[in-house]
Amino acid sequence: MKRLHRFVMRKILHTDDPPHRLALGIAIGVFVAFTPTIGVQMLLVVFLAWLFRANKAVGVPLVWISNPATVVPIFYWCYHVGQSIWSQPTINQLWWNELAAPPGGWKGVAFYWTKVLEIAEPLWLGSLIVALAMAIPSYLTVYYGIRTYRLRRWGKLVPPASDAVWHEAVSIRTQNAAVESDKQVHADMDIMETVS
């Protein structure tokens, strides 16, 4: 629980990104977590976050919602949502029995491919509907939550720079000013030598 709190405080609420970019990154992560793209979900989140200019860091951990322990209940529910909209007959015990005893060799590959195609359309349809139904409220909740938190805490939507960053910036400016001052002194001395 402490790790989650630390993640929310450091990676979401106190990040320099505006609330829209953070909320969009989270919404993209939630959306992809409910699609049947296991194996490429993190890459897909990074690509979509880059495409829509969202925060990549906050979206990637959310794809872990669909992990080996949760993937079956999530996709079973998504399949039934899609199946009810698609008006297809649901898979029954015969389908499962056939799946338990597949043929061998290349016929087995064709068999599994046929079984996947039987559930692909309703699964994708249901997954997209559920993903949108989860991503839209996630975006709105996170956007207004971050906005409210930041306005109450700092009076602006982007958090102020930390003291360490400010001191480093001042140090760099001071060093640059000293170098420029040295250059000016040397230039003045060169002019004086040329005149005399």
| pLDDT, tens digit, 9 for 90 and up, residues 66-115 | 888 888 899 989 999 999 898 777 777 777 777 777 778 888 788 888 88
Tell me: do 73 and 131 sit in the same domain: yes
SS (H, E, C) 99-159: HHCCCCHHHHHHHHHHHHHHHHHHHHHHHHHHHHHHHHHHHHHHHHHHHHHHHHHCCCCCC
The mean pLDDT value of the chain amounts to 81
Cα dihedral 176→178→184→186 (10° resolution): -120
CB 132 within 8 A of CB 81: no
Tell me: do 83 and 168 sit in the same domain: no
Tell me: do 128 and 181 sit in the same domain: no
Tell me: do 93 and 53 sit in the same domain: yes
Tell me: do 91 and 185 sit in the same domain: no
Domain that holds residue 194: 163-196
pTM surpassing 0.75? no
pLDDT of the residue at 164: 44
